[in-house]
Structure 1
Amino acid sequence: MSRITEFLQQARDEKAFSGAAYAIGNSDGITEQGTVGTLFWDGPSVQLDSIWDLASVTKPIAVLPLMVMLERGECYLEDVIAHFLPDYKDTNKANLTLRQLLAHTSGIPGQQPLYQTSPTKEELLAAVRNLPLRYAPDTDVEYSSQGFMILGEIIETIAGDSLDAVLQQLVLEPIGMSQTLFNPCAHLHSRIAATEYCEWRGTTVIGEVHDENAVVLGGIAGHAGLFSTAGDMSKLCQAMLRLGETAEGRFLQPETVRLMTNNQTSSLKLARGLGWQAKDRHDSPAGDLFSMSSYGHTGFTGTSIWMDPEDDVFAVLLTNRVHPTRTSTAIKRIRSIFHNLAFLSVRS
């Protein structure tokens, strides 16, 4: 048993999650992968092809089409919301830019349980439009799922198609991510890790997005909703470390990958790229050894991916830490130690 598997098994024994899958490697491929535990307590064993609710790891993936559109000349980072979405024309968000939305510097507040008072997609999107701004744009960083809901709408408007179809065409197919999708079909549910017992839904959630706002949006949104495997996440990490190059060709230019992944908020309290988390100097989920040029994202369900272009390392960790409840906070420490172990394993 590898040191990583041993560590994750210990975390499982301490009830941090019922199961986990991981993959680590570099731009050439996976150097180590493994699984521990079960898809739910007393359920079937986790397999390498088990499927996980990515939660907010959806965010940087869902906005990759926007970078393709930027390369095509269909948008640029200082375009404002109202340019694409007329319903925003007379709101306090009309002149917020794509850059501000992507870097979480728009002032739109996060952590908004809009589903509680907005039971339909139309009502929830209207509630997003009507949110007050928490601060003046570009003066602070506040993680905002609501901003990524808007980005999902903008991508659909530019493409004239649904977000899932656009993502499939521009990102998932070029990278070869055949196991990544919104709203997995019922025949896949036996491969999917359980998340939380949801009082709102009256059941333990398996195969439906955990995020309640995303449920109201039909399971397809810019902030949450994707499901995937450790293998597919590894393909994404390799493509990013190769600066957009895939086995099939290229899905982004190197300059665009660098633009997305560089720290855009160095003068503010939290480090953010465009869609991606950059590495904060202290208390980063990437742990202690990944370089300051590394980037990635975490998800509320217990998921994370992290890449280091300086040292050519990636690490994928997919767990169901919200099963059966979201009360445990052990994943914070687990992620940091996992990333330290992953870095040393790949670099050794």
Structure 2
Amino acid sequence: MPLTDMIGLAFEPAATAIRDAKIPGAVLGIVTADGARAAHWAGAAQIEPERHDLSRETWFDLASLTKIIFTTTRILQLVEQGRIALDDPLVSVIPDLRQYDMNAAERRLTFRQCLAHQTHLPAVEPLYTYGQDPQTLRAFILQRVWQSGPPVYSDINYMLLGIAIERITGKPLLDQPLPERFSFRPNPSLCAATERCTWRGRVIRGDVHDENAFALGGASGHAGLFGTIDGVLDFAQSLLDGTGLPAESLRAIRTRESEKRTVGWEGFYAGWHGGDACSPTTIGHTGFTGTGLWLDFDRGFAWSLLTNRVHPSRHTDSGILPLRRATGERVIALFDAEARS
């Protein structure tokens, strides 16, 4: 079965979600290690205050896919260049981290621990409620006495990594080099809309949905990246074919640091968003706005489902978890059937 026919069948769960007004629109892309790819899309990039149709060229707020596509990859590139090591403490490049308490736990955090979410830091903090001056907020992140707790998936980990990237490279995140089809400053007219934000008083289109990333200037280590389906598939293919990262870094993103986490990524476990049919070597990640990417190394392909499920509000039941799982199960079943034929 041609990949273009296969993806139409795999898109059926998303088509149902669009028809039932669970989500405004979606695009599904599949790419193989040898470069074959296909995409299928339907629905609206925006429904409020006016409708705009979605296309293959629509730019999505990738939300936490920023963590893997930009931040994790950039840190691993800096490791490859010999500028840092994964087990170096953050203070090796951010010496002012908790500078008023030399015994603070944050001063012992390593790049590896932050990448794999193996720290004591909380999941999230409404930093934007403290103000919108990016430099002051960065200082707040560095000097905050963070409440200690068990390891959780934490945006704070990646805010610190974003600051580290700025310190090492001498460039703000907004000015960091990005591959084609990715941007921290997209053309709003090309973007899928996200939420009707009560804080900003408007429908968000072309600005980062995440309030903390917006207050930090539009980009942070945890959110802010925009991209198209083909940009995401380019990135996925580069990891499948080994051109995107050197062998040691590829091993790092595929090796467990905890039950569910690798360096940067989530590893397969029963009940996860990618579906239970994934091979044990599958890694993936999701984004709050309704985005996701999964790489099945055993089968040699990847798929990405990009939606704007938070438009016009996050406070609805979009059914994103069952949609992601159903899509992953459908994609894998079709690939396995094709392999047997």
State the TM-score, normalized to the length of structure 1: 0.88
Letter of the structure 2 residue corresponding to residue 336 of structure 1: R
- Corresponding residue for residue 54 of structure 1: 62
Q: SS of the residue aligned with 2:234?
A: helix
Q: What is the rounded CA distance, in whole Å, between the counterparts of 2:329 and 2:93 in structure 1?
A: 42
Pairs aligned (count) = 322
Equivalence for 1:333: 322
Q: Is the contact made by 2:23 and 2:308 (CA closer than 8 Å) also made in structure 1?
A: yes
CA RMSD of aligned residues (A): 1.6
- Secondary structure, counterpart of 1:38 in structure 2: strand
Which position in structure 2 is the counterpart of 1:343?
Answer: 332
1:284 alignment partner, SS class: coil
Q: Does 1:166 align with 2:176?
A: yes
Are 1:26 and 1:346, in contact at CA under 8 Å, matched by a contact in 2? no
Matches within 5 A, 1:66-105: 66-88=75-97, 89=99, 90=101, 91-105=104-118
4+ residue runs of structure 1 moved beyond 6 angstroms? none
1:134 paired with 2:148, answer yes
Residue aligned with 2:295, SS: strand
Q: 1:101, CA displacement in angstroms? A: 0.4
> Structure 1 pair 195/103, CA: closer, same or farther in 2 (3 Å)?
same
Q: Which residue of 1 aligns with 2:185?
A: 183
Query: TM-score, with normalisation over the residues of structure 2?
Result: 0.90
Judged with a 3 Å threshold, the aligned counterparts in structure 2 of structure 1 residues 329 and 39 are, in CA distance, closer, same or farther, namely closer
1:284 maps to 272
d(CA) in 2 for partners of 1:345 and 1:49? 25
Give the match's secondary structure for 2:42.
strand
Q: List runs of 5+ in structure 1 lacking aligned partners.
A: 173-177, 246-250
Q: How does 1:1-348 map to 2 (within 5 A)?
A: 2-41=8-47, 43-63=51-71, 64-88=73-97, 89=99, 90=101, 91-129=104-142, 130-135=144-149, 140-168=150-178, 172=179, 178-184=180-186, 188-243=187-242, 245=243, 251-266=244-259, 271-280=260-269, 282-327=270-315, 328-347=317-336, 348=338
Query: Residues of 1 paired with 2:58 and 2:322: CA distance?
Result: 24
One-letter code of the match for 2:93?
F
Structure 1 residue 167 displacement after superposition: 4.0
Gaps of 5+ in 2: none
**In structure 1, C-alpha distance between the alignment counterparts of 2:23 and 2:156, rounded to whole Å:** 28
Change in CA separation of 1:118 and 1:222 when aligned onto 2, cut-off 3 Å:
same
The letter for the 1-side match of 2:130 is: T
The letter of the residue matching 2:19 is D
Q: Is the 8 A contact 1:183 1:220 kept in 2?
A: no
| 1:285–1:336 contact (8 Å) kept in structure 2 | yes
Provide, for residues 291-336 of structure 1, a one-character-per-residue CA deviation record: whole Å limited to 9, x for no partner.
1211111000000011011111201110000011102240011000
